[in-house]
């Protein structure tokens, strides 16, 4: 956890704004130059009803609320959205935070919108957010986009021109620019990000047991995956998830959690291969939107929750937790994930997860009694652990 401070320029609100950040959020160690430059430019004008697109941990919305009529912040990350809410409470600021897959889900118009795309945002995803933000503006409303050339500024400017908003640069600092655009009187938002369906063949059954005994022949089935650009393994089944899927046997009657579900391959597979109850959860609203469509494509019934780790299921207990965890997200995220599993795993339950062979995740497994390596692929390993505290 990191705490940041930003001085106030107004008598309204706190004298110093305090922000908490954490692993899993972009620029968790300091303020982003793009956001600070956008803050200065938007502050000079009366934003009226303000929309902050992909607000991260809430700097823009928290500070600009002092001069805005209303503030709505969006985030596709449940973890980021909850951090925004905490920072609003900490600074005594009234604003709305929405966890959404796309800004087009919002149901009212704004006078001003501001967007500082995160550097790792896929260009088509960033362009879609720009188009959706313009679509949520009232005619004549203003959109500010703050970015660097190396993170897509020229492409975003081209996008604004293509939708008829006549962008102009209104602020620069080093290699950061703020571009301002005005919503035309008529606007038909284009589509830059489209969901697609990939059909993959997967083996059904316990592959490890079959290979060891040669007793039975594995069957294969089609699995339909709905995904979109910018999501993990979009349009395919990644090797790690396939190894986990084809290694762990799901039993009838089990309560199964697909943790960090992405577009939902593990949860859909579990529901197809056993008479079990399945819940899927992911931090990313774009992922859970696709997961719901994946379940529908495969004709299975399961619940899908957008939440940080196990936050959405802490009142439940599971016999089997399946996960291909986001090992790139930082130790704080992984610690929360694994500790969360220990809290929701039934006394005789199993936590089966996959990771790259070269990674050492032992520091996150201290809450578990047993750790078993059950399968190894060319680049991945599958492990099954059990909960120590609940087995005593």
pLDDT digits (tens, 9 = 90+) for 354-392: 999 999 999 999 888 889 999 999 999 999 998 755 543
Q: Are strands 110-115 and 49-53 parallel, antiparallel or unpaired?
A: parallel
**pLDDT of 89-147, one tens digit each?**
999 999 999 999 999 999 999 999 999 999 999 999 999 999 999 999 999 999 999 99
Is 251 among the domain residues? yes
Range of the domain at 101: 2-182
Same domain for 233 and 122? no
pLDDT band at 9 (very low <50, low <70, confident <90, very high): low
Average pLDDT, the chain: 93
Which pTM was predicted?
0.93
The CATH number for 177's domain is: 3.40.50.150
**pLDDT over 70 percentage in the chain:** 94
Q: Residue 187: inside a domain, yes or no?
A: no
User: Quick check: 129 and 117 in contact, CB under 8 A?
Assistant: yes
Residues 176 and 248 in one domain: no
For residues 392 and 285, which has the higher predicted lDDT (pLDDT)? 285
According to DSSP, residue 251 is labeled: P
Q: Which of 44-53, 332-341, 363-372 has the lowest mean pLDDT?
A: 363-372
Does the pLDDT at position 66 exceed 80? yes
Q: Which of 153, 182, 211 is the last residue of a domain?
A: 182
**Which of 182, 209, 239 is at the close of a domain?**
182
If asked whether residues 243 and 166 sit together in one domain, one would say no
Q: How many folded domains does the chain comprise?
A: 2
The pLDDT confidence band at residue 302, using thresholds 50, 70 and 90, is: very high
Statement: residue 11 has pLDDT above 90: no
CA–CA distance, 171 with 163 (Å, rounded to integer): 22
DSSP string, 320-384: EEEE---GGG-HHHHHHHHHHHHHHEEEEEEEEEEEETT---GGG-TTEEEEEEEEE-SSEEEEE
Residue 341 has pLDDT above 70, yes or no: yes
- Residue 191 falls inside a structural domain: no
């Amino acid at each position: 956890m990191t705490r940041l401070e930003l001085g106030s320029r107004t008598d309204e609100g706190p004298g110093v704004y305090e922000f908490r950040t954490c692993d899993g959020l972009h620029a968790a160690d300091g303020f982003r130059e793009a956001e600070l430059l956008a803050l200065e430019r938007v502050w000079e004008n009366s934003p009226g009803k303000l929309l902050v697109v992909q607000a991260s941990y809430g700097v823009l919305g928290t500070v600009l609320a002092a001069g805005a009529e209303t503030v709505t912040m969006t985030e596709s990350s449940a973890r980021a959205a909850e951090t925004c809410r905490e920072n609003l409470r900490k600074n005594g600021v009234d604003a709305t935070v929405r966890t959404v897959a796309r800004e087009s889900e919002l149901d009212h118009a704004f006078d001003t919108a501001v967007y500082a795309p995160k550097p790792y945002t896929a260009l088509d995803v960033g362009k879609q957010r720009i188009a959706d933000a313009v679509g949520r503006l009232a005619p004549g409303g203003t959109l500010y986009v703050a970015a660097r050339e190396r993170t897509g500024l020229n492409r975003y400017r081209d996008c604004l021109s293509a939708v008829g908003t006549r962008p102009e640069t209104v602020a620069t600092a080093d290699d950061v620019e703020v571009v301002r655009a005005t919503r035309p009187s008529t606007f038909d938002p284009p589509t830059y990000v489209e969901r697609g369906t990939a059909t993959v063949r997967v083996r059904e059954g316990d592959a490890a047991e079959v290979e060891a005994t040669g007793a039975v022949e594995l069957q294969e089935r089609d699995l339909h995956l709905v995904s979109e650009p910018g999501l993990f393994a979009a349009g395919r089944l990644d090797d790690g998830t396939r190894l986990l899927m084809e290694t762990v046997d799901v039993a009838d009657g089990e309560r199964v959690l697909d943790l960090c579900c992405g577009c939902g391959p593990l949860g859909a597979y579990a529901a197809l291969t056993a008479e079990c109850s399945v819940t899927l959860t992911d931090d990313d609203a774009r992922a859970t939107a696709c997961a719901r469509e994946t379940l529908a494509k495969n004709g299975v019934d399961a619940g899908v929750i957008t939440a940080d780790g196990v936050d959405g299921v802490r009142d439940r207990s599971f016999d089997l937790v399946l996960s291909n965890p986001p090992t790139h997200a930082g130790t704080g995220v992984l610690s929360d994930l694994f500790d969360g599993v220990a809290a929701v795993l039934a006394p005789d339950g199993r936590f089966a997860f996959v990771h790259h062979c070269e990674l050492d995740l032992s520091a996150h497994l201290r809450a578990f009694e047993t750790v078993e390596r059950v399968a190894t692929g060319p680049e991945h390993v599958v492990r099954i652990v059990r909960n120590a505290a609940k087995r005593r």
